[in-house]
Amino acid sequence: MMIDVLTLFPDMYKNVLNESIIKRAIEEKHLEVNLINFRDFAEDKHDKVDDYPYGGGAGMVLKVGPVVRALKSIENYESAKKIILTPQGSPFKQSKAYSLSQELHLIILCGHYEGYDERIRSYFDEEISIGDFVLTGGELASMVMIDAITRLLPGVIKQSSHQNDSFSNHLLEHPHYTRPREFEGQKVPDVLLNGHHAKIETWRKEHQLKKTKDKRPKLYKKYLEVKRDD
């Protein structure tokens, strides 16, 4: 997969792209990330990418010209899935991470300041938010998305490692334990120690359901609805 990120702060990505699973995915050519500073596409002598809002008001607005010129500089940008990051977008969920992981080419625009000149929106396919809060810029949001998408790319991690992840089947994940068998009086459940795979699966499913019902009742309701419709 190729991801082009349109950002004013490419240096923010240095650590994230050079650590852990994303680093390996890039090294093993599952993923290519290009950081494009759309300030390079400003046309005035001060490289300005923002300006005062028509009609007045607080904050500066991202100008349409530099963003659109940067977008059009990307090879095959027409066929890419073009995403604009905004708190007004549809919520980024595991199901969205999964569907985006099936794309060959993503372009992600990170906003800044008060927001975008409204005309920028017409050049993009989809608006995404990573939650109901307001960040200073889209960079952290794009890194969250890149991380969630990368681990779903074929060959990056074992499919079995993510197919039971929380949210994959409208459920949270079951509890995990590792050594030691007992820590400060807390014991690993016996069922996990006896090697009886069917019993272990039953225990895991029961706890998956209980965790989801207790912690995320709306998700549990969705799970029951989907199960009923199957």
Ligand X SMILES: C[S@@+](CC[C@H](N)C(=O)[O-])C[C@H]1O[C@@H](n2cnc3c(N)ncnc32)[C@H](O)[C@@H]1O
Residues at the interface with ligand X (CB under 6 A): 85-88, 110-112, 114-115, 129-131, 133-138, 141
Would residue 151 show up in a list of annotated catalytic residues for this protein? Answer: yes
Residue nearest to ligand X (CB): 111
State in angstroms the smallest separation of the CB of 60 from ligand X.
10
Instruction: Answer yes or no: are the C-beta atoms of 148 and 177 closer than 8 Å.
Output: no
State in angstroms the smallest separation of the CB of 74 from ligand X.
18
State in angstroms the smallest separation of the CB of 176 from ligand X.
30
The rounded distance, in Å, linking the Cα atoms of 113 and 51 is 10
State in angstroms the smallest separation of the CB of 129 from ligand X.
4
**Residue closer to ligand X, measured from CB, 87 or 175:** 87
Q: Look at the alpha carbons of 210, 212, 218, 222 in this order and tell me if their dihedral is positive or negative.
A: negative
Q: What angle do CA 86, 78, 117 make, to 5 degrees?
A: 35
Catalytic residue among 10, 24, 69, 87: 87
Instruction: Answer yes or no: are the C-beta atoms of 74 and 36 closer than 8 Å.
Output: yes
* Those residues with Cβ within 8 angstroms of residue 180's Cβ, 6 or more apart along the chain or in another chain: none
**Residue closer to ligand X, measured from CB, 107 or 141:** 141
Comparing CA positions, the residue from 143, 116, 122, 103 lying closest to residue 5 is 143
Would residue 190 show up in a list of annotated catalytic residues for this protein? Answer: no
Catalytic residue among 39, 151, 204, 216: 151
The rounded distance, in Å, linking the Cα atoms of 152 and 168 is 11
**Residue closer to ligand X, measured from CB, 85 or 156:** 85
**Residue closer to ligand X, measured from CB, 80 or 120:** 120
The residues carrying an active-site annotation are 87, 114, 151, 165
